[in-house]
Structure 1
């Protein structure tokens, strides 16, 4: 197995997480009696604001199973995860967060589920509420439901950053996924059976979440765009709906003038303005959605990479300060 950990703010949590992973680097049995071993732990440095880089270097000197992966700048969690997948060599790839939420002891259960159900992707299914607060948990469930139902996102309700992926599937995905692709949506394009396995989440180890409202909204929007052209079809549906409403209003006005006495005074200016504003708002929203799809296509055509791996800056020209 290869364990991939994108690192953004791991200065205070990486040491204890690696200490929990270290026993798994010796061959052992899963709960189902299979033999497994973690051969490498890839720490992907994503240029966070703390001292994670120094911690990664110290851990690499101390443990032979640690493999640092250095990105040229901050790309985000999903591109960092893809970079780790591309650099891995295990038959299976485990991805997990740096903050201590994900218990490494559950890796064996994920592998048992994959082999029992012949699945190429296994997501951790939390058996307890995520330690993020009721508002964020509700927003996460709602967005996943919307993607699964409204945009036919398939397995989106299972999405979790704690996942087990067949090695060749993960490395193939990292080879072709575009810069705007949402990792889990892209996995669904090629994965065979996708299942989940029960795992208890732990509290984050005394550090604030690296996600802010803007970041979470960006993740949701990337999920929508990566789901295909369903968003554009929704735009078309909105256009048809407003056209039908306009037709109904026209019929109502004609019937009123023909069969009822409406008088000579001018009426309905407020209603007319409301309809115009609402209609123009729908048009502008639709154009905005189309523009987002065009933007994704342009970035893909220009060859924008989802990540770029470089050497350790401290060991290269940037590290020569004298």
Structure 2
């Protein structure tokens, strides 16, 4: 019997969590995949990422209703990847399934994930959507472009498979949660220790009418964290760009010298000088900014900044105690 821990980061799940957990209930007491593998959902870990709605109320009700549901409380909002890592660290199943709270990931696909993992002996299985994600054309195009940049310019390999709906071997997921530092992109961290990856075709559903927890700023931050986590390829690109500008400067100087020696007309002008100065200074400042970001990541890790902090339910602790006049 394979045991599966389901990890769900919760930010705005007030309207969708109950229905999502109800869909998993038939798998709590065991089931069999199409290829004959017995499994059960051993636990459902709802990781509260301190969102703006009343998700804690639903989480407490679900924990009372289902003995397989276990809330995990974070001290503040750390983001989806950190919340997922916290859930992985708290899990105990043979396998870990991570999925979103909004209902677009169908839990009925979990048996197919397990079949793919066993058939291909893969420690990590990503969902491969058979339809466009329900985010709108602009966001989907931006996501594809970001993955193309990451795949072709920063690391190489097929990174288009990165999805938040995934099945990962339990010991791999828990190990990654133990060593991943603050700001590390989850899928990149898993890739550091695992090269046995497969995909499973899954149809994405609508998001249940809830607003997205990602703003344009947070999506850009998400992409930038992926770039910084990929290694030093970004620094190499900065060095290559600097070298290209240096070569361009030498060629431009040679052109000016040859023009002077051959008596060609050279019209000095402040416009061209200012263009070159602005381009060069802009490149220098951009390069310094990239280097500073890498230094910042290293400093956070050296200072021991945690990627997440698990606490008790605030409502069950000192902060949730009512005044004595209200207890009676």
TM-score (norm 2): 0.96
Q: Deviations over 1:176-230 (max 9, x none)?
A: 1001110000000011311211100001001111111001000000000000000
How many residues matched? Answer: 320
Aligned to 2:27: 24
Aligned to 1:283: 284
Deviation at 1:321, TM superposition (A): 2.1
Aligned to 1:161: 164
Residues 1-322 of structure 1 mapped to structure 2, 5 A cutoff? 1-262=4-265, 266-322=267-323
CA contact (8 A) 1:153 1:227 kept: no
Q: SS of the counterpart of 1:261?
A: coil
Deviation at 1:153, TM superposition (A): 4.7
Q: SS of the counterpart of 2:154?
A: coil
Q: SS of the counterpart of 2:155?
A: coil
Q: Deviations over 1:49-76 (max 9, x none)?
A: 0000010000000110001100011111
The 2-side partners of 1:90 and 1:153 are apart by: 32
The 2-side partners of 1:228 and 1:267 are apart by: 44
Aligned to 2:326: none
The 2-side partners of 1:26 and 1:135 are apart by: 42
The 2-side partners of 1:176 and 1:154 are apart by: 23
Deviation at 1:94, TM superposition (A): 0.1
CA contact (8 A) 1:155 1:194 kept: no
CA contact (8 A) 1:153 1:185 kept: no
The 1-side partners of 2:103 and 2:230 are apart by: 30
The 1-side partners of 2:203 and 2:237 are apart by: 37
Q: SS of the counterpart of 2:45?
A: strand
Deviation at 1:156, TM superposition (A): 2.0
The 1-side partners of 2:29 and 2:5 are apart by: 13
Q: Deviations over 1:132-172 (max 9, x none)?
A: 01110011011111111101153421100000000000000
For structure 2, the residue ranges without an aligned partner over 5 or more in a row are 324-328
The 1-side partners of 2:65 and 2:54 are apart by: 17
